Chain A
Amino acid sequence: MRLTCPLCGPRDRREFTYYGAEEYLHRPGPDAAPDLSQGGAWDNYLHLRDNPAGPTRDLWYHDQGCAAWLLVSRNTLTHDITGVELVAARKGARDEA
């Protein structure tokens, strides 16, 4: 498996560390309800994940490279990698937090 880091080019997967689903980018506000009983924004954010058969987006860290966090679009059925973008440069990143 190879990922094409926008900064470093195509690199072997051994250079990357996997983190988890794209969902980790959508951090609830500090006052969002923590528990499922109260709506569960934080619970969702921390613990509830889809297990998609098909397209998915997840987060990889180029720790043996440029230290960029990457948002990778791939397909769990075909193993195709359809896109890699910098987390820091993605649309909307500039408005959060």
Chain B
Amino acid sequence: MRLEGKGIIDRTREVSFRFDGRDYRGFRGDTLASALLANGVKLFGRSFKYHRPRGLLTAGPEEPNALVEVIGKTSRTPNTRATMQEIFDGLESRSQNRLGSLRHDLMAVNDLVSPFLSAGFYYKTFMWPRHFWEGLYEPIIRRAAGLGSLAKVHDEGVYEKAWAHCDLLVIGAGPAGLMAALTAARAGADVILAEEQPLTGGRLIADGGLIGGDPAAQWVHRVEAELRAMPNVRIMTRTTVTGAYDNGTYGALERVGLHRSPRPNLPRECFWRIVARRAVLTTGAQERHIAFPMNDRPGIMLASAVRTYLNRFGVAPGKRVTLFAANDQARQTARDLMAAGVQVAAIIDPREDVSVVEECPVHAGAVVIDTKGRHALQAITVRKGSETFRIETDCLAVSGGWNPGLHLTCHMNSRPRWSEEIAAFVPVEAAVPGLAAAGAANGSFSTHGALTAGRLAAERALAALDLRAPDLAVPAAEDTPYTHRAIWSVEGAKGRNGRAWLDFANDVTVKDVQLSAQENFASVEHMKRYTTQGMAPDQGKNSNVAALAVLADATGRGIPETGTTTFRPPYVPVSIAAMGAGGRAKGFAPERFLTSDQASRDRLAPMIEAGLWYRPSYFPKPGETTWREACDREVRMVRGAVGVCDVSTLGKIDIQGPDAGRFLDFVYTNTFSTLPVGRVRYGLMLREDGLVMDDGTSARLAETHYLMTTTTAAAGQVMRHLDFVQQAFCATWKLRLISVTEAFAQFAIAGPKARALIDTVLDQPLGDLPFMGVRPVSVGGVEARLFRISFSGEEGYELAVPVDYGEALFRDLVARAETMGGGPYGMEALNVLRIEKGFLTHAEIHGRVSADDVGLGAMVSPRKDCIGRAASQRPGLWGPEREQLVGLKAAGAISAGAHLFRPGFAVERENDQGYVTSVCWSPTLDSWLGLAFLTDGRARHGERIRLVDHLRGIDVECEVTHPVFFDADGGRMRG
């Protein structure tokens, strides 16, 4: 029920929204919880296990009961806390964890059989027979036990991630936080003030009071206005700091768009990584419930939540409210209610020697021992001494004391300390380096105490930052001592089925914890796992300390002896979409395009991924219906006329300096310092463990200038490797190296007419360029490099120009080639051409082969040291027991990944002789060809071998051959 003149909602802005299919109205500034409560809704959800009707327990992020689904056009967000979800026009929400309607949940039968569903029930009951698990038990349990349901569609919402840096991060904008931020800001520090709620003020919003003689709200307003006006301060509301990490890094989740009607490009959430030199934890404290019998009915809520609904939202949570509290501070709840005209039935205070002077009846030395009302509270039973009596009431405000909001101090493995004085855990100092808790988060509960602690924490941070603290007086404010008695649980009347809840979200009762102790799960870690206490979305915020106290009592120990409670990040649930923002689709795998990309797509070439690159697979011609037809034609075209292929993806590393040749001698197995200027050499590179890292060609462009090429796949790895070798072992050598992969576009021109094509594009006649030669040339006035190298086995050239000219040159080369019976060729043809020649790719040099395995053992020079040489000499890395590179010829289709067996031997792992790495149909040789690794393969050319691929259903005999199938003496490429 809404109260006139109360609350700080905007009554001029009405908001309409839906819950469980019904239309409701609230005001701007309402949460879903407050707006529904104002509309008389008390039932918000069903509990996890027993499907008990549940209402609001809190008004904040720790809410265990009021978890709802928020339904968008394309999204469905389960487990949204109604206490945190602000309403907006068109908000659609519904309750969850029910079968049927919320009022008539069919699963509520669980509540009637609850004696059988106690702690450890699943462990004990669903043990046997074992095979019933998958088919029967698990699906039933899963359907019954889930909190909320998945939308089962991709979350297409927009999420952001962002970084921020500051001198001081203030976590929580209550009195302590505001005071800390103001102190640091006036000293000139860069301050970020993060506040979970939409507005600053913390508990001052709900509790009011005076600060410096003015209403607290005015002080909050003044401080916030001053902070907002300062350029060194950033106030981040709706931002929950979720975790504390190494080196002053904090995770924070900002609700950017969750409180507004969705519109395109409005992020739902932003996940921040905030790096702070110092941080102050001013997260306040969370009130505790009391575990009395039937303490979970809708209408029973924390006293502080009642004050929040009353004073912030102007909502009376009941018509006739009762207060059950064991501390003086909670009495404010009753006074505020009465001042607002809400009837207070009574104050129940378990303490004997307390004041009974209030405007309503006060029962000292009394406790609540039972409650009535299925869907909403109707009455409570109170025990005072030996008498019991009943009070009609529709809202029971409870306060079992306060727990400091110390969660973040536990995130780096530190455990809090038990304070007898306030009967709560408090943070230990330096639990997180650079982070200091202050105010209620540190166990100091008065407003004046919070203001003082906030200033002190900021002053200490400023000292560490070498900044001078300003002269800032702490204003006068409420400073009454915290007077309380710890009360954890209340026993019910004899013979009553009195269940007293600790963990509402997971339905864990006092009895469950006692049972756990009785069955010897007496350590707190065992108890938690046995009862599932603390494992629901609220992560034990409402129940950890009370459950520990009950366990301590059940095992006859004190609380500190029983254990401590701890909290891990995140402080509140964080959607994976926010944490991984930017990591989907192209954010996960960016695209790299060749300069010829558009020209290839213009020719309808299907593009395939090669790492992050996109390369043309083949260039279809009219009438061709399969990729094979196009590929076969392109292979014949290269062997018969001329083909053009973009090979710019190969890594290119420019190496210069007097010691460049010496360096190449050290990273390649073979020698490059003796290579004449203007010549190119094939090089083999090992890893230090003796296995092959990469291969490629290096050209000597000038006396002190080399250009290395790497394979596409290993370009990054080789660059990193060369940098390491140079900096770690050759730091004094005179050389420098840099990747120029993206500086040049490079095109292979291959085939019997390659030379003729080259001659038409060069500005000057080429003259004689021998095989494995390189020369600077000029193409249309552009300086270029021409290499005479071949990856196809034909007379081949590679022409490199600065990338800006790549597309024009490619289009020109292809057009000229077409007048000569040639054209472009793609990856498929390139692969066939190189398999016919037995050239290697990373299909063969896949990280587990030695130089000897691929037939290049002789390239490891015995006359010099090089990376990998020592290890390559180890026994076991060479010799007949190794699988060696061979060729395979077959009449029928074969496949890469197939394994090899001796004919007549069983196809079993023990008989495995090797495996196939690359295959193709060779239009040149009219045969299926394969490259494979076969045990002692070099000695077995001519043998028959059985090739088996169970996956593709292939089982054929092949001939083992030399891996070079075509033009073995290389006459064609030498020209």
Interface positions of A (Cβ within 8 A of B): 1-2, 12, 17, 19, 24-25, 27-28, 30, 32, 34-35, 42, 45-46, 59, 61, 63, 67-69, 79, 81, 86-89, 93-94, 96-97
**Interface pairs (22), CB distance under 8 Å:** A1-B246, A1-B247, A17-B720, A24-B724, A28-B870, A30-B870, A32-B870, A46-B688, A46-B689, A61-B720, A67-B723, A68-B727, A69-B727, A81-B247, A87-B724, A87-B727, A87-B728, A87-B731, A88-B726, A88-B728, A93-B727, A97-B729
Q: Which residues of B contact A34 (CB under 8 A)?
A: 870-871, 873-874
| A17, B666: Cα distance in complex, Å | 23
Q: B105 on the interface (CB 8 Å rule)?
A: no
Question: What is the total number of residues of chain B having a CB less than 8 Å from a CB of chain A?
Answer: 27
CB of A32 to closest CB in B, whole Å: 7
- Known contacts A2-B247, A46-B689, A61-B720; decide if A25 and B728 are in contact (CB<8 Å): yes
Are the C-beta atoms of A35 and B874 separated by less than 8 Å?
yes
CB of A66 to closest CB in B, whole Å: 10
CB of B322 to closest CB in A, whole Å: 50
Q: Which residues of A contact B873 (CB under 8 A)?
A: 34
Instruction: Point out which of A24, A32, A61, A86 has the most chain B C-beta atoms below 10 A from its C-beta.
Output: A61
Are the C-beta atoms of B871 and A46 separated by less than 8 Å?
yes
CB of A2 to closest CB in B, whole Å: 6
Are the C-beta atoms of A69 and B724 separated by less than 8 Å?
yes
Interface string of B134-151 (1 = CB under 8 A from A): 000000000000000000
Q: Which residues of B contact A69 (CB under 8 A)?
A: 723-724, 727-728
Q: Which residues of A contact B869 (CB under 8 A)?
A: 30
Interface string of B705-732 (1 = CB under 8 A from A): 0000000000010011001101111111
The chain B residue sitting closest to A2, CB to CB, is B247
The chain A residue sitting closest to B876, CB to CB, is A35
| A29, B882: Cα distance in complex, Å | 27
Are the C-beta atoms of B723 and A42 separated by less than 8 Å?
no
Q: How many A-B residue pairs have CB under 8 A?
A: 71
Q: B249 on the interface (CB 8 Å rule)?
A: yes
Q: B275 on the interface (CB 8 Å rule)?
A: yes
Are the C-beta atoms of A63 and B727 separated by less than 8 Å?
no
The chain A residue sitting closest to B716, CB to CB, is A63
Are the C-beta atoms of B728 and A79 separated by less than 8 Å?
no
Q: Which residues of B contact A2 (CB under 8 A)?
A: 247, 249, 275
| A30, B669: Cα distance in complex, Å | 13
Which B residues between 269 and 310 are near A, CB-CB below 8 angstroms? 275
Q: B912 on the interface (CB 8 Å rule)?
A: no
| A63, B870: Cα distance in complex, Å | 28
Q: Which residues of B contact A27 (CB under 8 A)?
A: 688, 728-729
CB of B140 to closest CB in A, whole Å: 44
The chain B residue sitting closest to A67, CB to CB, is B723
CB of B820 to closest CB in A, whole Å: 43
The chain B residue sitting closest to A87, CB to CB, is B727
Are the C-beta atoms of A1 and B249 separated by less than 8 Å?
yes
Q: B955 on the interface (CB 8 Å rule)?
A: no
Q: B597 on the interface (CB 8 Å rule)?
A: no
Q: B654 on the interface (CB 8 Å rule)?
A: no
Q: Which residues of A contact B249 (CB under 8 A)?
A: 1-2
| A94, B727: Cα distance in complex, Å | 10
Q: Which residues of B contact A17 (CB under 8 A)?
A: 720
Q: Which residues of B contact A61 (CB under 8 A)?
A: 720, 723-724
Q: B865 on the interface (CB 8 Å rule)?
A: yes
Are the C-beta atoms of B247 and A93 separated by less than 8 Å?
no
| A93, B723: Cα distance in complex, Å | 14
Q: Which residues of B contact A79 (CB under 8 A)?
A: 246-247
CB of B587 to closest CB in A, whole Å: 13
The chain A residue sitting closest to B733, CB to CB, is A97
The chain A residue sitting closest to B165, CB to CB, is A10
Q: Which residues of A contact B247 (CB under 8 A)?
A: 1-2, 79, 81
Are the C-beta atoms of A42 and B729 separated by less than 8 Å?
no
Instruction: Point out which of B247, B275, B689, B870 has the most chain A C-beta atoms below 10 A from its C-beta.
Output: B870
The 5 closest A-B CB pairs, nearest first, are: A97-B729, A30-B865, A88-B727, A88-B731, A79-B246
| A42, B867: Cα distance in complex, Å | 12
Q: Which residues of B contact A93 (CB under 8 A)?
A: 727-728, 731-732
| A32, B874: Cα distance in complex, Å | 12
Q: Which residues of B contact A19 (CB under 8 A)?
A: 724
